[in-house]
Structure 1
Amino acid sequence: MSATTERSAFDHRAFLARAPETPGVYRMLDAEGVILYVGKARNLKKRLASYFRGSHVAPKTAALVSRIADIQLTATHTETEALLLENHLIKQHRPRYNVLMRDDKSYPEIFLGTAHAYPRLGYHRGPHREPGRYFGPYPNAVAVRETLNLLQKVFRLRDCADPEFANRSRPCMQYQIKRCTAPCVGYVSREEYARDVRDAQLFLEGRSQQVIHALVERMEQAAEHLAFEEAAQLRDRISQLRAVSERQYVSTQGGSVDVLACVQGGGTSCVEVLTIRDGRNLGGRAYFPKNTEGLGEGEVLAAFIGQVYLERDPPRELLVSHAPFERELLEQALGEASGHSVRIQAAPRGERARWVEMARQNASLALGQRLASRGSQELRREALREALGLDAPPSRIECFDISHTLGESTVASCVVFGPEGPLKTAYRRYNIQDITPGDDYAAMEQALERRFGRAVREHGPLPEVLLIDGGVGQVARAQAVLATLGLTDALMVIGVAKGPERRPGEETLLLASSGRELDLPAHSPALHLIQQVRDEAHRFAITGHRARRARSRETSTLEAIPGVGGKRRQQLLKHFGGLQALSRAGVEDIASVPGISTALAQRIYDHFHH
């Protein structure tokens, strides 16, 4: 089913009237017939109707809808089938509005053939053309070759190509160094080789303990039948597998998991994948999917899992930093595609939580390095110059943000970015004092007065662009402070106001000098730079606020009363049984505590009641 081919004649109302309410996949095309977006839905009619709600859609969606000239539908029996078809079409056509991963050749894997009587075990990278099992993806080629080296030592499966295998008349060097059983010349029976293949497959699936138990049984049977040479070989295999299991062991309750964490910032998303196989950490890798503007971490992870794991043999468990969109559907689709159950667990506990946190830290580090790269910074600064109409890219950008909890321990942050990225030595925090709790305007005014008042007195550096995390009110206060200091024309003040749903990519920029609003597209490098600076100011403010709040809460409220030292504090708390009972006591009751005079008792009473 499709709409008309003329872009201007596309009538979504007529199209939706004919759309079925069944699971399926939809493809949105432009006037030239190029696929713009591929999506799946449990109910095609309802899902497609959500794109045509006028002003209630995200800017990225609105841009997509404005280019639609045709929509093609493919109905499926189940939503799982729709998910598999969607993933295939995304990889085939790589639409510009879909979240896109790198192509298949980026992911090294281990291949175990199934079509040959004596399956080959080897390194693989690229499309899956040969029938067999593909284990991975692994973080890098080193991890694959390290695992293959172990498997050849223990299970002694061939790694030669089929033509070489068919034309051999004597064993190769792999047999001589005891890394192959030489099936090419009939030194091992088909049944024995198949058993080794099965054990290697179980090991790659993370079930090494099951392999060890089976080998122990075979060793005992061989010893009972006086086959001591075979028993010794099995003993050596068991020792090697146990050594591997004991080395670099982590608690994974199943042996093999992938740990995925998504971090966003500066208009960019990073997904870090830690690969753990049979308790061995094989390392991690950072991925930067495209077209993630306006999407949350769960949506990015859902797209990543779908594109990376649906056509591979995933581990039985994925640990994730955020619950992916439609997690149950992904689990079902992964299970059907791989032939075994796959569990996606968000917010794990204990040791697993530490692995997720490690992945998150690595993702943050990789994202920070990518955003701070010289090429990225130059591109973004030039885009910002063009968007703001500046004569040159800004060499110094500052951003202020306020953080508090219901007015408690208010902290203002100031972060600085230069041509190379963050200038952390120039960061400043301001502990805000003597304001009405929760008054963000007064907090911003005080922070700006302290920062720029000192700059005027000491002739300190000034930014070309000053970002204020807030709307019209915050920008007005900033303008008032700068006017008082005579800096109105010295720098450009820009308010960064969040969109109605507070989602990245929907920010509105308020230009204080002209009073106009500037809405940059979600994919704009200039907006990405502003988001990066704003996010860093937000992080720096929250960190300072939490530290200040923790210090204030560790200090007893009695320490603020003159004349109440450590010894008297202990006497008061011991006498009344706690701070709450003391706060309800009268002056006479407090004065009855040894060492507390009537005057001091009055001060203590006033502290709690005034």
Structure 2
Amino acid sequence: MSSTTPPSADAGAQFLAERAAIEAAERQSAIELEAAAREQRERLVAEVNALPALPGVYRYFDAKDDVLYVGKAKDLKRRVSSYFQKNHGGSRIGMMVARIARMETTVVRTEAEALLLENNLIKTLNPRFNILFRDDKSYPYLKITSHAYPRMTYYRGAVDKRHQYFGPFPSAWAVKESIQLMQKVFRLRTCEDSVFNNRSRPCLLHQIKRCSGPCVPAGQTGEYARDVRSAEAFLRGETDEVMASLQLQMGAYAERFEYELAAEVRNQIQALSKVLQQQVVEESSATGRDRDVDILAVKVQGGKACVNLAMVRGGRHLGDRAFFPKHVDDATAVRLDDEDALSPERQVLEAFMAQHYLAAPVPGLIVVSEAVDAGLAEALGAQGGSRVTVQAQPRGQRRIWLEMCVKGGELALARLLAEEGSQQARTRALIEALDLSVTEIDNFRIECFDISHTAGEATMASCVVFEGHQMQSSQYRRYNIEGITGGDDYAAMRQVLTRRYSKMAEAAQLGTGRLPDLVLVDGGRGQVSMAREVFVELGLDLGLIAGVEKGEGRKVGLEELVFADGREKVYLGRDSAALMLIAQIRDEAHRFAITGMRAKRAATRTGGSRLEDVPGVGPKKRAQLLQRFGGVRGVAGASVDELASVKGVSRELAEEIYRALH
């Protein structure tokens, strides 16, 4: 009688065989990966061994060709080899080195050149393991125009050599404060040229003695030019010369028995003296190199860093401005130095100075809270074309400036840490209140939509983005809504959501895009129903949608959240941290929508910028332009050559008009 193997035994044997095959394949794959990693490592080491012992910059890239790190070295071979000749274990350096797939190097002539190139590349490439300062805002200046009766104004942008510029100032507030001071002491005009050219009598500023009234013949005297020269001298820090000139002027008026004019100059002297007494900088100390000084203080705490920049210009302390870099923890951990281990404070400060002064003007003296590399001053001097001194242990007045700057930096960093803590608490509270499944709270993303119009005119939709516990203004978008009945907010919401998410849905399905974790619409059931229709058509998860519905009596704090997936309404509570976050995002969407709508409405009604605001276009030229082209829209549609063909309109003025209306 023959025997047969039971079916269960055959299945068990097959399972064991398949498992053995899988394990063998995994072992083979691991061997191949290890061999590939070893080969890659050997290739990198060979490249390192071939490097010259010269100054230069090196870049590390990962397998996706993303930049990991940019560094400089006075000896490329020694510096780069230190990354590969040591076992860094599971430290951040080890994590970075393990990810290096290839590298690039650039040889330069000096260490100063290497420093400048390194920080140019850091700002351009945004490496993961470098300290990075982002400052996309240009600095404001006080501008005095080249005019027969110069105008004083706030200015930000490219410098025109025809005019005088004073600064830079750390903030718009500092410029405006200086303008008010100039008005009180020197009574310079601030009005637009178009207003100035068409005045028949002085304005209110003249009545309250804030302007000498050069817009009318009575004010068009030599005294105005003298006041302009005095104001320019004061802004350059020549306060002694200005005071002496005013005193001589007062004496001359008194000798001629012009006592009213002498009294006016006396009032100027008193106002100027009061301002100088209020300044932290003493007149005696604000001479020579102390007239233009930057003071830098650094503070590192809780994985965050702050560099506080205080500015002294013309001997006057103009205030300070705080900067907060990215990647502090990773960057300070991977920084290697063959001679000394740099403190995090020094690393942050050196990174700031190198990156900040690539674009900003460099004063002759920089006072710092931490000693920095001596080559940094040399590099900054080469960049600016003049000698730069960096002082780490100041005395006297400079020490007072530094102590003020250090205190300002400590307060700014403490404020940032407190704000970040509260924002994270709000984010977590919202996630928990809505029972959302979020794996990484730091990447939690909300997009919020609002519709704005005026009685159906100039309909505008806004989309604002909240991510990383803060509003991301660079990702905001506005949408012009067209092809709907004026005032139909539901149709407007349908249009903006379709435009926003149709391509995004396709990308998400292909695994190349990411949808937000929550979509907020400013409105109740009607707006949510419209959003639901759009998401159903696009095949998107209805659980993403929530509407912010006004509470009883539309009172703040009584809002409820309405959902598209059938869940019950949620009332978060007046004092809820989650509601505070919702309100913040909703209000920002409303603000962004309404400002866009107003701009669109103004453009619709006037055809862009107003012709009256263009310098050099008075009533007569304006009438000629409007008559020639049939209105503002026609002027806006004309070319520069067509505008220049109008009698009295020069080529330069035609270009100004064209720029203003486009």
Instruction: Report the TM-score range of the alignment, normalised by the length of the smaller protein.
Output: 0.3 to 0.5
TM-score (norm 2): 0.44
